Amino acid sequence: MGKLVLGLSAYYHDSAAVLVRDGRPIAAAQEERFTRKRHDPAFPAEAVKYCLAEGGVGLDDVDAVAYYEDPKLKFGRVLTSFAASSPFSLEAFTRVLPEWTSWKRDTVGRVRRSLAELGQGAVPEINVRRHHESHAASAFLPSPYESAAVLCIDGVGEWATTTLWHGQGSRIRHLAEIRYPHSLGMLYSAFTYFCGFKVDSGEYKLMGLAPYGVPRYADVIRQHLIDVKDDGSFRLNMSNFEFLRGQVMTGRGFEQLFGGPRREPESPLTEREFDLAASVQLVTEEVVLKLARTARQMTGEANLCLAGGVALNCVANGKVIQEKVFDSVWVQPAAGDAGGALGAALMVAAELGAPRAHLAEGGDGMSSSLLGPGFSDEEIARFLDDLGVPYTRLDEESIAKQVAEELATGKIVGWFQGRMEFGPRALGARSIIGDPRDVDMQSTMNLKIKFRESFRPFAPSVLAEEVEEYFDLHQESPYMLVVAPVAKQRRLDAEESAQATGLDRLKVHRSTIPAVTHVDHSARVQTVTASSNPTYHRLLTAFKQVTGCPVLVNTSFNVRGEPIVATPYDAYQCFMRTNIDLLALGNFLLNKADQPAWREQGDWRKEIALD
C-alpha cells in the first residue's frame, strides 16, 4: 500500500484535505466544494472522507497526519500583536480571546477529536508543520525541478510573511524571512479592503481592476506605506494601517493619503479605485521582482518555485518570467492555504523516505491538479435518469465535435469532465467555456452567467503546441497562474478612443480573441497538452478544426459567491439557474431548450442518487 500521509488545513479559510501515497498526492479537495460554503474554514470532514474513500483506506491505514501550521506559535503572535497595539486593540482582543483560550490553542487536539468522530479508524500521530514550511514544500516537492529557489509570500502564517528557501532533492532549506506585521500580502489586502472588496477573497478582483487605471499613487505608497530595499526586503509604516488593532484593515491614514473614505462595497467604482489598484499592483510587482532576483543570487539556481497567497497574483508571476530572472518558473496550483495541507503532507512523506518519483517520469507531481472527485458515465446516467431530464449520450469524439460546433455559433457550455481541480482555478474539468472570438462574450458571461462585475477578465485555454502563435509566453502555464501579453500578430490596429477611460475601455476591441484580451492586451493563460488533460485537449482540437482557433474562454463553473461545482447535481443546478446554453456532463449533452422548468421548491438532494 505504501506510506500514506493525510494533510490538513483548517480554521482560517479554504480548509482542505490531501492524501499522499509514497510522496505523490492521490486525492485533494477543499471543504467548500462539499459544504457549498465559499472559503469554508471548518474542519474539512467531507474532504477527509473523500480522500480516504478515493484512496480506498481508513485512518488505520494512514501512517501520519500532517497539520499545516503551528497553533501555539500563532497564538503567541496574536497575543504579541494585540499587546503592541494596546489599548486600541482591547475590543478586538476581548472578542477573539475566548475562542483562543477555549480551543484554538489546542487546535491539534480538536483536529484529533474531529478525525475520531468520522468513525474511520484510529487516529494516527499528528505532525505539526510551520505555515511557510508547508507552503515551501508544496511549491518545491511536486515541482519538476531536482533543485530550485523557493519563494513564499502571503499575508501571515505564524510570524513569517515572506520566506526564501533552497530546495535540493527531497529537502528544503530555510534561508531568510520577513516577519509580521511587515507583509506584502497585508499591503495588498489593505487596498482590497479600501477599494470596497472582501479581504481574503477579493484580491483577484483588485488585480483584474488594475489595468483600467494609472499608477498615480505608486509614489505615495512607496513614500508613506512601504519601504523597499534593493534586495526586496521591506517594512510597512504601521501608523497608516489598522490591521494590528484587529478591527479593520485601513482607517484615517489611508483616507488622508488617498483623498477620502474607503469605497462602500457594491457602490459604483470610480477612477480613484482604478488608479489605487494599478498603483498597488505596480508596487507589488516591483517587490516580487526584487525578491526573485535575491532568490536567484542567494541560491544560484536557474529555476524558481512559488507558493503563498501572493503567488496567485499571476500578473506578478508573469513579470518574473518576462524579466527572465529565472530560466523557468513553477507555481503551485493550490498556492493559498488549501495548498498548505498538501505541503505539510509532502514534507512528512519526504521525512518518511518517500521519493520524488515524478522526476524520473518528467513533468510535475500534481497530476494536472485533477485530484478531486470524479463521476463515471454510469453514475451520471443514474443521476440524470433519477432526475428525469432529457439528454443525449455520445462518445468522446462526438461530444467534443458537437460542443465545438455549438461553441462556434456563440453558445456557452458548462463543461463537467473527469476529476475536479484542486485549487482556485478551473482547468477544464469544472469550467464554463465560450468562443474567444466573440466580441460580446465577456459581457455576456459576466452579467448573464457569472452574475459578477463587468470589469472582470476571462482567461484563455490554448493548445500548448499553439501558445506562441497567440501569446508572448515561452513556457508552459498548465495552471493558469501566469499572465502574458497577447501576441502582436493577434492584436488589432484599432486605436483607443480618446474618451475611453475606466470601464468604457471594455468597449474597445483589441485582438482577434477579444473575449480573453484584457484592456492592457494581457491574458491569464492556461496551456493544455494531450497528456495533462486529454478530454479538454480533444475539445480544443475540435474547436480549432471547426474555427481555425485553438483557444477557448475558460472560467470556473460557478456563479458569484458560490464555490466551483463539485457534483453533477451542482452542475445541473448552476446550468439551470444561469443562461448557460448547453451542459456536457461526461459524455452526456443537455440542451437548455429541452429541459423542464427548474423546480424552485423542495430539496432535490433527497431525490437524487448523487449528492
Instruction: Note whether 151 and 292 are within 8 A (CB).
Output: yes
Nearby residues of 19 by Cβ (< 8 Å), 6 or more positions away? 4, 5, 6, 7, 25, 26, 27, 28, 51, 52, 54, 55, 57, 62, 345
Largest CA distance in the chain: 68
Q: What are phi and psi of 402, to 5 degrees?
A: -70, -40
DSSP annotation of 463: E
Pull the grid cell for residue 575: 446550468
User: DSSP strand E in 362-468: where?
Assistant: 392-393, 413-416, 430-434, 459-463
Distance CA 164, CA 298 (A): 9
Mutual orientation of helices 45-55 and 107-117 as an angle, nearest 10°?
Answer: 60
Pairwise CA distance, residues 67 & 84, whole Å: 29
How does DSSP assign 417-440, residue by residue?
Answer: -SSPBSSS---SSEEEEE-TT-TT
568 — phi, psi (to 5°)?
Answer: -55, -35
Residues 148, 304 contacting (CB under 8 angstroms): yes
First-to-last alpha carbon distance for the chain, in angstroms, is 29
199-203, long-range: CB < 8 A, 24+ apart: 199/249, 200/13, 200/39, 200/155, 201/13, 201/38, 201/39, 203/309, 203/312, 203/313
Contacts (Cβ under 8 Å, ≥6 apart) of 558: 450, 564, 565, 574
User: One of 13, 135, 358, 537 is an active-site residue; which one?
Assistant: 13
Half-sphere exposure at residue 527, Cβ-oriented, CA atoms within 13 angstroms: 20
Cis before 87 (ω within 30): yes
Residue 443, C-alpha cell as written in the block: 459581457
174 is catalytic: no
User: Do residues 190 and 170 lie in contact, with contact meaning Cβ atoms separated by under 8 Å?
Assistant: no
Let me know: does 163 contact 177? Beta carbons within 8 Å. Answer: yes
How far is Cα 473 from Cα 470, in angstroms, rounded to an integer? Answer: 9
Residue pair 177/162 in contact by the 8 Å Cβ criterion: yes
- Partners of 206 in the β-ladder: none
**Catalytic residue positions, numbered:** 13
